[in-house]
Amino acid sequence: MPNTIEIKNLSKEEKLRVMEAIWEDLSRDEETVESPDWHRQALQETKGRFNSGEEAAIDWHQAKNDLRKRFE
């Protein structure tokens, strides 16, 4: 397993790729990963904003690309 010194040497793009790989691995068995209460609340708030038209949905691939560009 990489230690924090090795992780510090990764580029932001590489770090995001590692995070995506970890998340993908964890989400394969989503029944064993319990969402914390604060996350459930944040999702409910977002859903409320979406339902009221205050927030719009965007394509997941576009969202990832936008985040990558922001953190490059």
Q: 72 with 13: CB under 8 angstroms?
A: yes
- What phi and psi values does residue 57 have, to the nearest 5 degrees? -85, 145
Rounded to whole angstroms, the maximal C-alpha distance in the chain is 45
Question: How sure is the predictor about 1, in pLDDT bands with cuts at 50, 70 and 90?
Answer: low
* For the chain, domain boundaries: 1-33, 35-72
Give the per-residue pLDDT at 72. Answer: 79
pTM of the model as a whole: 0.47
Give the per-residue pLDDT at 2. Answer: 58
